[in-house]
Amino acid sequence: MTNLTPLREPEADGRPFWAAAAEGRLVLQQCQACGKTRFPPRHQCPHCWSPDAEWKQASGKGEIESVTIVRRAPTAAFRDLVPYAIVAVTLAEGVRMITNLVGEGALNAQIGDKVNVCFEQRPNGALPQFQLVEPK
Amino acid sequence: MMTASLRNSAVVLGVGESDIGQVPGMTGLGLNAQAARRAIEDAGLRPDDIDGLLTAYSFTEPYFMLGSVLAEYLGLRPSLCAAMIAGGASPGVMIGHAAAAIAMGRARAILICCGENRATGMGRDDAVAALTAVGHPWYEAPYGAFIPALYALIAKRHMNDYGTTREHMAAVAVQSRANAALHPRAHKKAPITIADVLGAKPVSDPLGLLDCCLISDAAGAIVVTSAEFARQARQKPVWLHGLGEHHTHEHLVAAPSLTQFGALESGRRAYEMAGVGPKDIDIAQLYDCFSIVPIIEAEELGFSAMGQAGPEFAAGEFGLKGRLPVNTHGGMMSHAHAGAAGGLFGVIESVRQLRGECDARQVADAAIALVHNEGGILSSHCTMIFGREPR
């Protein structure tokens, strides 16, 4: 799927996430007090409320927790893209992303399939997406 | 003095709904006003009796401060007024706050009113586009993850973990339509079959068009009063026995689980407050924005074992003649869905069932009703238990 819609201007909490994505890297916040990784980005840890966090390079590896194929586009921007896959991915770091599965086999993916991060270029940045490690 | 429980703290005295379906000649506020007028008439009250007003939100009208806007529109000058937003859980949340306010003596008769003209006020494409607004603006929406897709992820995982099938979910839709056919104001009454649901236009696998709730023009209204105030009214009050909320997330990306949600805890709190359990419930109005949702709720609220609600819907156990009639008015899949009003119609139907006013769809001797409201992506939960007598 190719979508040329500009990304929404990053908000302050997630600026490092989007800056890294533009360079083709996935980064996640890790709490320096309790050690937990959090997503979406936040000013403070939702587990222990510490504001001290470090942006860390993520493995980019995960597993499909659930998958759906969208066949009715929500907006005009997605009309030419249907059918497309939305997946809930559990990352190795323990957090979930709701994202697109793209590339070979995306429309036949199953719960439990292993995935890797990839990036879709947009006019003003890049959007992290995922692809199957072993397309069937 | 603080009372720990809302049991018997308030009654629903009047209920009303606007014209429902495609109502092109009316604004959302007009629909609210019509529902409010009908609820007040039903209660045997006059507008002057109302001293509190609670409403929720509207996607179709360009107002801020919707509580004050609605008070202005209705010509009310209430002593308690607000707009409360918990998505589909808003009606239950408003009823909880209204009952607490009444218990504290802050008001005696609170009008709870919500709904909008979502069918004709914004057009189908805009209404569907609005469904992206609930997704996280940065971490869900850019992926084309609108509400049906997010619920589809939940449905798919339930199917995977518990063996729920598309046929089970279709049975929920078919049953709702059959019940709606017996309701004089329901939006959709034409009968549908399992094959119709399975063959309907696909939206987001495994959900097809008939697995999704309607987009209606509709508003609902109820009048919540103190028991003392109700004593002088001619209408028969319906009693609030218990109410519980639980809120675990807003966005699915941050949900604690894709298979366990807050209905378990909101239900536990409501049952405890009411002093009843699932087996004591005679009818249940379960939030049904998508066909998977009543299945999950029936399991979390203790009506079915995990993984059994689907087969039990398919076997007719939750039909009008079943062991526990569910969504006797047709729910949001066939009666009406318009913003926050969807869950309020479950309350309105429960009140009518407990009063014995439901004619062809009346459940014989219904004495205790459970209503579950849910907002977001199974994010905000409110369970209510009502009865025809105080307990």
Domain boundaries, chain A: 11-58, 59-136
pLDDT (tens digit per residue) in B188-204? 999 999 999 999 999 99
Identify whether residues B279 and B339 lie together within a single domain: yes
Confirm or reject contact between A119 and chain B (CB < 8 A). Answer: no
Identify whether B357 is part of a domain.
yes
Identify whether residues B73 and B197 lie together within a single domain: no
Nearest to B235 by CA among B330, B354, B155, B329: B354
Under a CB-based contact definition with an 8 Å cutoff, are residues A88 and A101 in contact?
Answer: no
Mutation test of the interface with chain B: which of A66, A102, A108, choosing the one with the most B Cβ atoms within 10 A? A66
Identify whether B321 is part of a domain.
yes
Name chain A contacts of B137, Cβ cutoff 8 Å: 8
Identify whether residues B169 and B89 lie together within a single domain: no
Provide the pLDDT for residue B191. Answer: 97
Name chain B contacts of A68, Cβ cutoff 8 Å: 149, 152-153, 156, 204-207
Identify whether residues B43 and B177 lie together within a single domain: no
pLDDT (tens digit per residue) in B80-135? 999 999 999 999 999 999 999 999 999 999 999 999 999 998 877 787 777 777 79
Under a CB-based contact definition with an 8 Å cutoff, are residues B182 and B359 in contact?
Answer: yes
**CATH code for the domain defined by A59-136:** 2.40.50
pLDDT band at B33 (very low <50, low <70, confident <90, very high): very high
Contact B131 A68 (CB under 8 A): no
Provide the pLDDT for residue B179. Answer: 98
> How does pLDDT run along chain A (136 residues), one tens digit per residue?
577 789 999 999 999 999 999 999 999 999 999 999 999 999 999 999 999 999 999 999 999 999 999 999 998 889 999 999 999 999 999 999 999 999 999 999 999 999 999 999 999 999 999 999 999 8
Identify whether residues B346 and B364 lie together within a single domain: yes
pLDDT (tens digit per residue) in A95-134? 999 999 999 999 999 999 999 999 999 999 999 999 999 9
Structural domain count, chain B:
2
Provide the pLDDT for residue A1. Answer: 56
Burial of B360 (0-12, 13-18, 19+ CB in 10 A): exposed
pLDDT (tens digit per residue) in B330-377? 999 999 999 999 999 999 999 999 999 999 999 999 999 999 999 999
Give the mean pLDDT of chain B. Answer: 96
Under a CB-based contact definition with an 8 Å cutoff, are residues A83 and A106 in contact?
Answer: no
Identify whether residues B105 and B93 lie together within a single domain: yes
Identify whether residues B293 and B152 lie together within a single domain: yes
Identify whether residues B362 and B377 lie together within a single domain: yes
For B143, the closest of A8, A10, A100 (CB atoms) is A100
Q: Measure the CA–CA gap between B8 and B237, rounded to whole angstroms.
A: 11
Counting other chains too, the contacts that B160-164 makes at CB distance below 8 Å and 24 or more residues apart are B160/A66, B160/A111, B161/B259, B161/B307, B162/B259, B162/B306, B162/B307, B162/B310, B163/B307, B163/B310, B164/B292, B164/B295, B164/B307, B164/B309, B164/B310
The domain containing residue B75 runs over which residues?
11-122+216-238
Identify whether residues B356 and B298 lie together within a single domain: yes
Residue keyed to tokens 């028991």:
B227
Q: Is residue B207 over pLDDT 70?
A: yes
pLDDT band at B61 (very low <50, low <70, confident <90, very high): confident
Work out the angle at residue B217's Cα, subtended by the Cα atoms of residues B189 and B386, and round it to the nearest 5 degrees. 75
CA-nearest residue of chain B to A89? Answer: B253
Identify whether residues B59 and B195 lie together within a single domain: no
Identify whether residues B191 and B92 lie together within a single domain: no
CA-nearest residue of chain B to A72? Answer: B203
Q: Report the predicted TM-score, pTM, of the whole model to 2 decimal places.
A: 0.97
CATH number of the domain that B115 lies in? 3.40.47.10
Q: What are the CA-CA distances from residue B147 to residues A6, B47, B204, B207, B219 (Å)?
A: 22, 38, 10, 11, 22
Identify whether residues B171 and B304 lie together within a single domain: yes
Identify whether B133 is part of a domain.
no
